[in-house]
Chains A and B, each alone.
Chain A
Amino acid sequence: MKSLISKLVLMTVLLTGTLAFHSIQAYTLEQFTFDDPAQTEEFHNLIGELRCLVCQNESLAGSQAGVAQDLRKEIYRMMRDGKSRTEVIDFLVARYGDFVLYEPPLKPATYLLWFGPFILVGIGIVLLFRALQRKKAAPEQELTDAEQARLRQLLTKNGD
């Protein structure tokens, strides 16, 4: 019991510690403004399309990770220097890999990823058609003499 309480106390201390740490570090996007509003919008769009490597379910726009802030600053600097969108993306891919892109590029290593679903649908359609044709091709089975007799018997019985 005693150890449970001390654990709880420790956890609370640690949690508040982390929260405090994060609130100090909180970043906003307001510091990144360009003279041209269109460029500000382009900046926001671009960082929204790039993935943060630390918090992998977040984009660079949404992440509070320190590395994400460093990358935002770097992208901001590059765009202020007049670098194009493609140049910024190439810069990041050369350093962090395709992983920063939400949409993986089309290349031999990703062919299966891009075309796999279509191949599976194709196989499904082929199988479906074959199954349908087999069903159509199969002739209706004639009843045997014994079955005919049984059928007649049932019908007369019901006719009473």
Chain B
Amino acid sequence: MSTTSRALIPLGIFITLAALLFYGLQLDPRKVPSPLIDQPAPTFALQSLKDANQTLTQDILRGKISLVNVWASWCPSCRQEHAELMQIARENDIQVIGFNWKDTRPQALQMLEQFGDPYAIILFDPDNQAGINWGIYGAPETFIVDAQGVIRHKRIGPIDRAVWQNEMLPIIEQYRNK
């Protein structure tokens, strides 16, 4: 090995390390992968946000592919993605389920009145009773649940057009006919 190529070894190591660290900078440590992927959705018994007398269970997730969107009126990013959710609900043949989390009923209903209601069904979990079983640690979070009630994907953070088209829609199409 010539002296020149030997001298290049440290430079090579440095560049590899720098590239690796630079890649690390792009990763978001707040996005913790969920152990629930490919597992049946956790069971729950929650009130409907709109009707306190109605109890909803995991059975609502069967028969149709669902988007379970965790939201709250106190969460700015939920407002940010709200319009996108409205459009998703309008344009796609999927069941958009709201998971109202650590919120109060009047404030949640007021937000829907103000910005529109994209949800077919809304679960109401004010004290994080079912949220712990779903491994929810922030809002917004969005799960894709297939027609058999199995969780297939979890999106942490708001959904926009690009996220919907590149990340979520392909997974929905993949599980649609199964």
If the complex has contacts A56-B30, A70-B128, A71-B132, are A93 and B35 also in contact, measured as CB distance less than 8 A? yes
- Mark out the residues of chain A between 93 and 148 whose CB falls within 8 Å of any chain B CB in the assembled complex: 93-99
Query: Do the beta carbons of A53 and B32 come within 8 Å of each other?
Result: yes
In Å, the complex CA distance between A95 and B135 comes to 5
- CB neighbours of B135 from chain A (8 A): 95-97
- How many chain A residues sit at the interface, stated as a range, is 10 to 19
Query: Do the beta carbons of B35 and A54 come within 8 Å of each other?
Result: no
Query: Do the beta carbons of A96 and B32 come within 8 Å of each other?
Result: yes
- CB neighbours of B128 from chain A (8 A): 66-67, 70
Q: Is the interface of A mostly helix, strand, loop or mixed?
A: helix
In Å, the complex CA distance between A94 and B133 comes to 9
The chain B residue sitting closest to A53, CB to CB, is B137
- CB neighbours of B87 from chain A (8 A): none
Which of B32, B127, B136 gathers the greatest number of chain A CB atoms within 10 Å?
B32
- CB neighbours of B36 from chain A (8 A): 95
In Å, the complex CA distance between A70 and B132 comes to 8
The chain A residue sitting closest to B35, CB to CB, is A97
Question: Which of A's residues lie within 8 Å of B, judged by CB?
Answer: 53-54, 56, 66-67, 70-71, 74, 93-99
Question: Which of B's residues lie within 8 Å of A, judged by CB?
Answer: 29-30, 32-36, 42, 102, 127-128, 131-138
A-B CB contact pairs (8 Å), 17 listed: A53-B32, A53-B138, A66-B128, A67-B128, A67-B136, A67-B137, A67-B138, A70-B128, A95-B35, A95-B36, A95-B42, A95-B132, A95-B135, A96-B135, A97-B33, A97-B34, A99-B33
